[in-house]
Amino acid sequence: MDTDLSAPAGERGRHPLPAVGDFARAAGAAGIGPGVFVVAYGSMGGAERLWWLLRHFGHDDCAVLDLDAWHGPLSTGPEETEPAQFTPRLRNDDTIEAAGLDRSRGELVVVDARIPSRWRGEPNPIDRVPGRIPGALNSPWNEPLRRLPGGEVVVYCGSGVTASAVLHRLHLAGRDARLYPGSWSEWEQLGLPVERSDL
């Protein structure tokens, strides 16, 4: 997560999107290239983050496996991988930056994928500034997708990783949505509006 699926942490958040060339090298080293169908699995939103990044960089031949439902064989130990040539085709319609989100949030269905206590703005060891983007609805990444109103959807979380789980569920439901990659770990640094529930 911290090396292949993200750029270094900093002013753009804890898990900024990786640079195009960096992701292409990592994907190619993992054997991902033309004609390769990728099945991602993992925990804490990592599988969905890989799925989202592959699609973001133009490789739509991918899916997420529900490992809890897997009844097939499992193996251990290292796997030999034949490197491939990954050619990125960057999408420009699946993300939104902080300034654009701040300007348009009244016109968007903004979804916060963090757990409810963080969405409410309760003090916690992760968020330097507790709270949420004003008007954001809560659909926690580790729970079934909540019913959302109609409109253009933008999803964020703490650092842009677990939001991918909600984006994947929306995709399976036939609904397009955009990711705010910097998520709360960027927003809280920018002095932008913060909303909290009455605690």
* Predicted confidence (pLDDT) per residue in 173-183, tens digit: 999 999 999 99
Half-sphere exposure of 99 (CA within 13 A, CB side): 0
> What residue spans define the domains of the chain?
98-187
What is the rounded CA–CA span in Å between residue 44 and residue 173?
Answer: 21
In this prediction, residue 47 has a pLDDT band, given cuts at 50, 70 and 90, of very high
Q: At 189, list the tokens.
A: 């640094």
Q: By three-state DSSP, how is residue 167 classified?
A: helix
Check: pTM over 0.75? Answer yes or no.
yes
CATH 3.40.630.30 applies to domain 98-187: no
What is the rounded CA–CA span in Å between residue 36 and residue 76?
Answer: 22
What is the rounded CA–CA span in Å between residue 70 and residue 58?
Answer: 27
Residue with tokens 């969905």: 48
Among candidate residues 68, 56, 123, the one with its CA nearest the CA of residue 94: 56
Q: What mean pLDDT do residues 32-52 have?
A: 96
Task: Provide the pLDDT for residue 67.
Answer: 87
Annotated catalytic sites, by residue?
Answer: 157
Q: At 146, list the tokens.
A: 């909540």
